[in-house]
Amino acid sequence: MELPTVNLKTILLVHWLLTTWGCIAFEGPYPWANFTILALGVWAVAQRDSIDAISLFLGGLAATIFLDIVHISIFYQRTGFSDTERFGAGMAILSLLLKPLSCCFVYHMYRERGGFLGPSQERSDYQTIDSPEAPADPFGGSESRGHAPQGY
């Protein structure tokens, strides 16, 4: 199944807006967890080739799904919320409901950047020191390369 293309900036904007409204009803760890993960998302936007940035953002989104469930279930009050606080709680719940979909889109972006489960390997135009393209005989002189020795 092919996912429609969604921009990472759009995901960040939607979750930032919903988290900001969710902070009307929930204080303390809710904003800290969500805004920290959104900061990782900004890093993933800034470094488009970084597998580490997008993988940390993906892992953070997945972690905040669990944290939001715990936080909302503990601090949601059925009575005593004003209309504004109910609106904030609704936006926090909507953000929670959209996070699995966002994780799917971010995972797709992670795969596009060359990510896979395991250690990340940054792509670079530079040759690494331990490259397998080293010369076969590093101590061979000009004789081994087909050049005649120069006489003095």
Q: Name the nearest CA neighbour of 31 among 20, 41, 47.
A: 20
- In tens, the pLDDT along 9-22 reads 999 999 999 999 99
Confidence of residue 5 (pLDDT cuts 50, 70, 90): confident
Residue 70 placed within a domain: yes
Domain count within the chain: 1
Helix (H) / strand (E) element for 25: namely: none
Q: Which residue has the tokens 């005649």?
A: 148
Domain that holds residue 43: 8-113
Residue 145 placed within a domain: no
Residue 120 has what pLDDT? 45
Residue 99 placed within a domain: yes
Residue 122 placed within a domain: no
- In tens, the pLDDT along 104-144 reads 999 999 988 887 754 445 555 555 666 566 555 556 555 55
- In tens, the pLDDT along 48-68 reads 888 999 999 999 999 999 999
Residue 151 placed within a domain: no
Residue 54 placed within a domain: yes
The one-letter code for the residue type at 78 is R
Residue 133 placed within a domain: no
Residue 139 placed within a domain: no
Distance CA 140, CA 105 (A): 53
Mean pLDDT of the chain: 83
Residue 118 has what pLDDT? 44
